Amino acid sequence: MFKDIIAHMKKFISLTEAEEELLISYLTVKEVKKKEQLLRAGEICQENYFIIKGLFRLYLITSKGAEQVIQFGIEGWWITEYHSYKSGMPSGFYLQAVENATVIAINRNTQEELFGKLPQLERYFRFVLEKAYAAQLMRIHYIFNLTGEEQYRMMVEKYPAFVQRIPQYMLASFLGITPEFLSMLRAKK
């Protein structure tokens, strides 16, 4: 189970066998059911999740009561609500499994202790966060510069299998369009 996360980390940092064992002692494997919430608005985010299997969404409820998907997470990605995770303040977001899933969790209260014992993990998480930040900047760029249709076409071209996994209403929310318009786009191909 831990081989996936160790392999991911070793793309960025070196770990000895003893360091791998120490790291694993801080991690927890969790099986998550489809539609299960790992975080609800108003709660403090206690864990950061490395996705072994499954699909997740981070979303909020708008002032009009609509769900707005901010981010998806798939195998080999980390997902959490970083503001709450780092600050200890209540979150304004929800984190939910879209499919049955398996994650490896690291608790916010022990992460700093782990960084003290394995300082190279700070470097690893810097790389992870830099990639995530760059992806969010590109998403913002697309929101302001592409129509919903253009964003959809780009996603289908770059990530066809991913687009097929996401329920239509969630993909529409992520793209800022209605499910009906997305249905029309899919029919046009």
Residues 10-61: pLDDT tens digits?
999 999 999 999 999 999 999 999 999 999 999 999 999 999 999 999 999 9
Q: What is the mean pLDDT of residues 98-122?
A: 96
pLDDT at 92: 97
Q: What is the mean pLDDT of residues 101-121?
A: 95
The answer, yes or no, to whether residue 189 has pLDDT greater than 80, is no
Would 152 be classed as within a structural domain? Answer: no
Q: What is the mean pLDDT of residues 132-158?
A: 93
Would 183 be classed as within a structural domain? Answer: no
Q: What is the mean pLDDT of the chain?
A: 95
Would 125 be classed as within a structural domain? Answer: no
pLDDT at 114: 96
Would 167 be classed as within a structural domain? Answer: no
pLDDT at 124: 97
CATH classification of the domain holding 25: 2.60.120.10
Overall number of domains in the chain? 1
Would 186 be classed as within a structural domain? Answer: no
pLDDT over 70, % of the chain? 99
User: pTM score, two decimals?
Assistant: 0.93
Reported as a single tens digit per residue, the pLDDT across 76-109 is: 999 999 999 999 999 999 999 999 999 999 999 8
pLDDT at 35: 98
Helices (H), 11-64: 17-25
Would 110 be classed as within a structural domain? Answer: yes
Would 62 be classed as within a structural domain? Answer: yes
Reported as a single tens digit per residue, the pLDDT across 156-171 is: 999 998 899 999 999 9
Would 96 be classed as within a structural domain? Answer: yes
The answer, yes or no, to whether residue 68 has pLDDT greater than 80, is yes
pLDDT at 51: 98
- The CB-based long-range contact list for 24-30 (8 Å cut-off, 24+ gap) reads 26/106, 26/107, 26/110, 26/113, 26/114, 27/2, 27/104, 27/105, 27/106, 28/104, 28/105, 28/106, 28/107, 29/1, 29/2, 29/102, 29/103, 29/104, 29/105, 30/102, 30/103, 30/104, 30/105
Backbone angles phi, psi at 78, to 5 degrees: -95, 145
Note down the domain range covering 108.
3-114
